[in-house]
Amino acid sequence: MGVLSGGGSKTLLRLVGKHIVEYTLDNVIEMGAKQVYMVVSNPRDFEDVAVKYGRYVELELVRQSGLGVEGAIISIRDFINDDFILLYGDVVAPKDMYRELVSAYMMNGYAAVIVPEEDTETYSVAKLDDMGRIEGFAGKPIIEGGLSTYVIGGAFVLPREFVDFVESLGNVIEALNAINSKYRLKPCVWSGWWVDIEYPWDLLRASLYLFQQSNKMMVSGNSTISHKAIIEGPVIIEDDVEIDHFAVIKGPSFIGRRTYVGNHSLVRSYVSLEGNNVIGAYTEVVWSSVQKGASIGSRSYIGFSIIGQDSVIEPGVITLNVVPEEVKIARAIKLRKRGREYTKLGAVIGFKARIKAYTVLKPGEEIAMI
């Protein structure tokens, strides 16, 4: 994700109009939390988020003092005195998952969300015994006794003692196993949609679920839409957007503030233009995440792609997006058409990168800022 984040936190990347971490905070508020400690590497980067959500919950930014999840957990040791909820800020899931976690804790004690996944290769996992209890956790899918089909969901209710185990053992998986051995964590098995944002194209998968969940139509009265443009389906158009003559916007799609869509362009199906974007004339964009400030030149085709903040795509750029069968993509997006299954992935264009005019980008090609 570093190619997109430009050295900042990936949880500040935008996803259908919000920072990734805001979806976790929304769920925290839905759960009725009163106090939240958000561990971040640079608190200044999160000040706007803290101000926004500080109106609803007591939120304190804590500077992370060590690396990884372990460093984040150890950083809150002086703030936690009792049982607490631990949530990963890069997981996007519906509020019902978190409600079930809290219910599991209230009925049965300490609990962990685990998610059934067919492909567990890139996840940390949990194994259940014959009684449906959590037998153990591992940082890879192969654990003692075979292959696990449950991945760690990034949401837990834990005792304060867990923080001490992380500090003494230096590893979150070992700490989870230690807590599980002592208290036997309740498995909260979540079979609904759930996305761990680990790869750039996870943004595409998460946006799909968010669009399907919302199905909302909203057009700001402060936007300028040509009477010759066509708007179809559930589309959100924010303030100060301009849609030029003969442009077509097909939902579900999101058009963020101060975006311009040129004449005869087509924006369709799960596109999220996060704001301050320019889409040139005669350009087509389909199922893509376009971060704030990115521009796409005229007569381009951008499909199944992730476009970084403030990047520039010059005119005539084409992204090929059907991945050859022999190429393996972690957590691939697979579509079925005419009886065949395809793996789809366009380009990953990084933070402030620039693509020269009339470039043809191969499936999965990554372009970083030079």
Hunting for tokens 């950083």 — which residue is that? 75
Question: Which residue in 8, 13, 12, 6 sits closest to 290, CA to CA?
Answer: 13
Domain assignment present for 14: yes
Q: Tell me: do 25 and 167 sit in the same domain.
A: yes
Q: Tell me: do 180 and 214 sit in the same domain.
A: no
Domain assignment present for 247: yes
Domain assignment present for 295: yes
**Quick one: pLDDT at residue 145?**
57
Domain assignment present for 271: yes
Q: Tell me: do 102 and 240 sit in the same domain.
A: no
Domain assignment present for 248: yes
Domain assignment present for 317: yes
Strand pairing of 84-87 and 58-63?
unpaired
Q: Tell me: do 228 and 189 sit in the same domain.
A: no
Q: Tell me: do 152 and 255 sit in the same domain.
A: no
Question: H-helix or E-strand containing 265?
Answer: none
Q: Domain tally for the chain?
A: 2
Contact 155, 30 (CB under 8 A): no
Domain assignment present for 64: yes
- CATH code, domain with 155: 3.90.550.10
Q: Which of 143, 178, 198 is the last residue of a domain?
A: 198
**Quick one: pLDDT at residue 215?**
81
- CATH code, domain with 296: 2.160.10.10
Q: Which of 161, 177, 198 is the last residue of a domain?
A: 198
Q: Tell me: do 298 and 214 sit in the same domain.
A: yes
pLDDT in tens, 136-170: 999 877 655 556 789 999 999 999 999 999 999 99
Q: Tell me: do 224 and 162 sit in the same domain.
A: no
Q: Tell me: do 260 and 167 sit in the same domain.
A: no
CA–CA distance, 364 with 272 (Å, rounded to integer): 19
**Quick one: pLDDT at residue 48?**
95
pTM for this prediction: 0.93
CA–CA distance, 12 with 14 (Å, rounded to integer): 6
Contact 70, 166 (CB under 8 A): yes
Q: Tell me: do 33 and 164 sit in the same domain.
A: yes
Domain assignment present for 192: yes
Buried (b) or exposed (e) across 21-55, using 16+ Cβ within 10 A? bbbbbebbeeeebeebebbbeeeeebeebbeebee
Domain that holds residue 254: 209-367
Q: Tell me: do 71 and 144 sit in the same domain.
A: yes
Q: In this structure, what token pair is assigned to residue 68?
A: 């990884």
Q: Give the full edge-to-edge strand order of the sheet including 295-296.
A: 224-225, 242-243, 260-261, 278-279, 295-296, 312-313, 354-355
Q: Tell me: do 190 and 222 sit in the same domain.
A: no
Q: Which of 163, 198, 233 is the last residue of a domain?
A: 198
CB atoms within 10 A of CB 195: 23
**Quick one: pLDDT at residue 106?**
93
User: If DSSP codes are grouped into helix, strand and coil, which group holds residue 209?
Assistant: helix
Which stretches of the chain score pLDDT less than 50? none
